[in-house]
Each structure stands twice: as C-alpha cells, then as structure tokens.
A and B are shown apart, each in its own frame.
Chain A
Amino acid sequence: MAAGHAHPLYRAGDSVVHRLPAHVKIVGAFVFVLAVVATPREAFAVFGLQFLLLVGVWVAGRIPPGWLAARALIEAPFVVLAVLLPFFAVGPRVEWWGMSLSVDGLLAGWNILVKGTLGVLVSVTLAATTPLRDLVSGLSRLRVPAMVCVIATLMLRYLEVIAAEARRMRLARISRGHDPRFAWQLGATVRSVGALFLRSYERGERVHLAMLSRGYTGTMPAFTSASASTATWAAALLPAGAAVLLAVSGYWVR
C-alpha cells in the first residue's frame, strides 16, 4: 500500500509474498510458529523440512539469505543459554571431544536453538515483506482491540522521534567531552535516559492534546485495508498448513 514507512526489517519489493494482505500473513506466521513450537524436539527431520518450507517462502519473496541471517542475529543472547545448557544440566551424560555433556541438556539446548531460530526466521520473514503500518492495520482487521492498535501506531511513529532525540542528546554529551567508556561517567548516560523519559512523557501529553484538537474521542477512525478472498487465504496458509502437518507427523516418526 504505502512505500513511505521504511523500517530496518522491511525489504521493499513487489513479490507474491509482499502483495499478500497483511492480516493473512500474520495468521500464517502465527500458525507456522505454533507448529514449530508443537513439534517434538527429537523429530530432527521435521525441523529440516519446516526450514525448507521457509526457504520456499524466501524464494517466492526474493529475500536473500544473507540479509535474513544478519537480522536473525537478534536471537544471539538466547543461543548462549542454549549452548550453556548441555554443560550445566543434570541427568545421564555423554562424552564428546573430552567434554562431559548432559543428554537432557543437549536436547533442551537443541530445542531452544532450533525452535528459537525458526521462530525468529518466521518473524523476520513477516517483517521483511510487510510494511509496519500494514502490520498494524492487519492486526486491527484481525480484531485486535483498537486501543492496542492505537498504541502500536503511536509507538511506531514516536520510536523514531525518541531515537532521534536520544541521538541528539548523546551527541551533545560527547561534544562536551563525555566518554561513556569509563564506568564513572555512566552517571551522565543514566541521567540522560531519565531526561529522555520525562521528555517523552511530556511529548505524549502534547500529542494527546493535538489529537483532541482534531476531534479524537478515544476511537481511531477506521482506515480501510484490503480484504482477502478464500483463494488468497488458501495460498497464503499453504506453508503454515504444511508446517502443522509436519509437526503432527513428528509425533509418529520420533
């Protein structure tokens, strides 16, 4: 719909995946993630096939794997936990390269790693093919409470404003010789976070005032977003449906 609202996770394009209505994609991504989570952790092959399904979506959406990988790095902190588990979990242990690893910990780590990775990849895929404003209008089409959508809309817009403000404050700090590498100078950073909070709060009040002045009474006017035909739904839910079938089959093959 609109090309204007770029965000770092969005990759402008005009593929089949990009053109799907947002609410359909949200449902598809949600079901896919549920399927991944419900898959038993020992069903190794199923995860591989689910990954292949995602690869299919990337091909259709023309998203290069390197681009995705860079954005999936957000997962890294969780990976650390997954890597630590085999060392510290209790239960029967195996020897591997001279290290004693817990079998249960290995499986638990693998569980976090594979489900987390697939989940993040699904989310990144959704974000890569859907502009933010469409995500919000898609959510409101899925009958997410209007107030939640208003909050999301405002957050999308003001996150950028507040980030710009934080950048300016940081610039002003470092121009006066502030070097936050040293622990004793951390105080200034902390205080400017506090100032930023207060400023954002005051801005919130001004924004509300400006909204009231244009007739806001607590409900957002409904802006139209495209509806989807049964055929669109069927096509869009194909990968998610396949993932569900795979998850179910996982209970037999393990």
Chain B
Amino acid sequence: MREKERSGARPSTPPPSLEVSGLAFAYPDGHQALFGVDLRIERGERVALLGPNGAGKTTLVLHLNGVHRAGAGAVRVGGLEVAREHLQEIRRRVGIVFQDPDDQLFMPTVRDDVAFGPANFGVTEPDLSRRVADALGAVGMAAHADRSPMHLSGGQRRRVALATVLACDPEILVLDEPSTHLDPVARRELAEVLLGLDRTMLMVTHDLPYALQLCPRSVVIDGGVVVADAPTREILADPGLLAAHRLELPFGFAVS
C-alpha cells in the first residue's frame, strides 16, 4: 500500500467524500437553479456553503442525496454516483440535518427517532441499540433517549436531529443552517459537538462567524454557480466579494 502511494498509483487514495461536476438543474416550471456547479470535498474536510437566499444552496443540497436528479453533470459521494440504482446507499452516505428539527424528528421518542434511519438501512438488533446509544452519546443526549422530542429545548432538539443522522454513519454530514433559532450557549454547545465529530461536513449557513469557527474552507454560491472557493478567513476578509453576493458580517465584526 505504502509503496503504491509513493509511486503515485491512484487506487490507494480514498475517493473524495463529495465530487460535484458540471451540475446543472432546472425545476419543472422552467426556473433554472444551477448552472454548472463544480465542488470537490476531500474526506475529513469541513466546508461552509455560503450564499444569499435563492442562490441555489438548498437545490444543491437536495441533489446530494438524490431528491433532485441532475439535469446535466454528476454528483459522486465517496466515489459512488448518485443514481436511481443505489439511491438507498447514497442516502445512507449523505446525512442531511434539516433546518427545522421539528421536520426531522417525528417519532414519539428520541430513541425511536434515532433508530429510524439505521433501521431503514438494514441495521438490526443488537447493533441498532448500540448505534442509537453511540449517536446520542456523541451529541450528549444519552440521558434523554426516552423523552418526546416535543419536550426538549431547541438546542437539544437540534442535537437529537444531528444524532438521527449520525446513527446512519454517513460519509458526509450536510447541515442546513445549523445555528438558526439557537441561543448563544446552545449555539456554542452545538459547535463543540460538531468539532468533536471528526467527519466530513458541508454546512449551509448565513452565520458567517459560525462558518469561520467551524469550517476552514468556504464555498460561495450565487446565481447557480460557484463564485468563490477559498479559506473561510480569506473570504470573510474580502468586503468586495461579500457585498457582491449579499453576504455581510454581523455588526461590529471584522476579519482581517
């Protein structure tokens, strides 16, 4: 293995967690949302996806797990192309945490909800219970397994939503606006959990300081194309770029 790597043989390097090439997509009503997006995320990277409302961020996310099918171009997750034949495996590999935990948590108890994903992907007892316990442990919610999601605080709900996806053991974690509706403490706690996970991560956000805290690299998307792809600090230190794409640091913030 080692020798091969040194000699430059390609098969020994793992495929990138996410590879989007030339992705274009138009909605059935004719509205074109993506015009050829290229994006490559290596295993273990944490990338922020920034851009104004309507830039195509959510459309892109829904391509990653095959809810939308590419009009042109391709999406590969861990080397596997998003296509109808292996949709189920793609959905296991792409763990999306949606913006509103109430959309994601629908079972009567936290435990059932976290078990829902892995059970769909064919995990059975006793592995299932271990997966649930591990996922809840990873987000610090093990003590709440038997409660109803309705009776949790916003921050707790967000962490349980994260656990429901972690339990599926995804190749890449996709977070849609993870910091919305969180108080500062819950926001920080979530950041600590995310930093401790050691997983490939794509975080869609308007919260630029959060992007800086969590993601070394940022990709700006606007008008359906990637307009910038650079270290987060560089992007946030470029006022011209930010202004051109309706991005703005909160009052009093400056990144140099």
A binds B: yes
Q: How many A-B contacts are there with CB distance less than 8 Å?
A: 92
Question: Which of B117, B148, B151 makes the CB contact (< 8 A) with A214?
Answer: B117
List residues of chain A with CB within 8 A of the CB of B102. Answer: 161, 203
Q: Chain B 125-143, CB within 8 Å of chain A: the 1/0 string?
A: 1000000000000000000
Q: Which of A157, A158, A212, A224 gathers the greatest number of chain B CB atoms within 10 Å?
A: A157
Q: Does A231 contact B (CB under 8 A)?
A: no
Q: Does A206 contact B (CB under 8 A)?
A: yes
Q: Does B41 contact A (CB under 8 A)?
A: no
List residues of chain A with CB within 8 A of the CB of B103. Answer: 203, 206-207, 209-210
A2 touches B150 (CB 8 A): no
List residues of chain B with CB within 8 A of the CB of A223. Answer: 112, 115, 119
List residues of chain B with CB within 8 A of the CB of A5. Answer: 108-109, 148
List residues of chain A with CB within 8 A of the CB of B105. Answer: 157
CB distance from A77 to the nearest CB of B (A): 29
Q: Which of A133, A161, A213, A223 gathers the greatest number of chain B CB atoms within 10 Å?
A: A213
CB distance from B124 to the nearest CB of A (A): 9
Secondary structure at the A interface, as helix, strand, loop or mixed, is: helix
List residues of chain B with CB within 8 A of the CB of A214. Answer: 91, 116-117, 120, 164-165, 168
Q: Chain B 67-102, CB within 8 Å of chain A: the 1/0 string?
A: 100000000000000000000100110111010101
A156 touches B120 (CB 8 A): no
Q: Chain A 207-236, CB within 8 Å of chain B: the 1/0 string?
A: 101111111110001011000000000000
CB distance from A147 to the nearest CB of B (A): 15
A215 touches B168 (CB 8 A): yes
Beyond A4-B151, A157-B150, A221-B120, whether A213 also contacts B108 by CB under 8 A is: no
A215 touches B98 (CB 8 A): no
B91 touches A212 (CB 8 A): yes
B150 touches A160 (CB 8 A): yes
CB distance from A172 to the nearest CB of B (A): 17
A3 to B148, alpha carbons, bound, how many Å? Answer: 9
Q: Does A246 contact B (CB under 8 A)?
A: no
Q: Does A186 contact B (CB under 8 A)?
A: no
Beyond A6-B148, A207-B106, whether A215 also contacts B117 by CB under 8 A is: yes
List residues of chain A with CB within 8 A of the CB of B165. Answer: 214
Q: Chain B 46-65, CB within 8 Å of chain A: the 1/0 string?
A: 00000000000000001001
Q: Does A243 contact B (CB under 8 A)?
A: no
CB distance from B204 to the nearest CB of A (A): 14
Q: Does B110 contact A (CB under 8 A)?
A: yes
B120 touches A4 (CB 8 A): no
8 A-B pairs besides A206-B100, A213-B95, A223-B119 with CB distance below 8 A are: A2-B111, A2-B146, A133-B112, A207-B103, A211-B106, A212-B67, A213-B91, A223-B115
Binding site for A on B (CB under 8 A): 62, 65, 67, 88, 91-92, 94-96, 98, 100, 102-112, 115-117, 119-121, 125, 146-151, 164-165, 168
Binding site for B on A (CB under 8 A): 2-6, 132-133, 136, 153-154, 156-158, 160-161, 203, 206-207, 209-217, 221, 223-224
Task: Identify the 4 closest CB pairs spanning chains A and B, nearest first.
Answer: A221-B119, A215-B120, A133-B108, A214-B117
27 residue pairs A–B, Cβ–Cβ below 8 Å: A2-B108, A3-B146, A4-B109, A133-B108, A133-B112, A154-B106, A157-B108, A206-B103, A207-B106, A209-B67, A210-B104, A210-B106, A211-B106, A212-B67, A213-B91, A213-B98, A214-B91, A214-B116, A214-B117, A214-B168, A215-B117, A215-B120, A215-B121, A215-B168, A217-B88, A221-B115, A221-B116
